Amino acid sequence: MSEDNLLTRREFTLESALVMLAGVAITITGCGSDSPPTTPTPASTDKTGTVSTDANHTHTGATITAAQFTAGNAITLTLTGQATHTHTVTLSQAELTQISAGTRVQKTSTNDNNHTHTVTFN
């Protein structure tokens, strides 16, 4: 063999790698979907609203659970407490999305015992 046909160790390694890869197909795909998600990202924790004090009392029960955020449906919360009556507050799916995103939402409860309460979610 003549000196003109000899390969260096580096050239041999490179040529060997190219020969091995010659029959390999490399496919690159994107990660993720082409369509946007159909539901908003739910809050990871429960969120409790603040119930106003009206008619010299307040109520409890203004808590939206993480599961309710995940369900993505309108909900009705029952406000209870030390009073002898209850109120309800209905939240639409759009309002739940706003609350989940941290937007302030205020809702007026049903009128029971001749008064209402305002529930504020921050």
Q: Which residue has the higher pLDDT, 7 or 58?
A: 58
Q: How confident is the model at residue 105 (pLDDT cuts 50, 70, 90)?
A: very high
Q: How far is CA 41 from CA 19, 62, 90, 107, 110, in A?
A: 48, 21, 21, 22, 29
- 41 vs 51: CA distance, rounded Å: 26
For the full predicted model, state whether its pTM sits above 0.75: no
Q: Sheet containing 50-51: which strands, arranged edge to edge?
A: 50-51, 118-121, 105-108
Does position 13 have pLDDT exceeding 60, yes or no?
yes
Q: What does the mean pLDDT of the chain come to?
A: 83
Does position 86 have pLDDT exceeding 70, yes or no?
yes
Does position 89 have pLDDT exceeding 80, yes or no?
yes
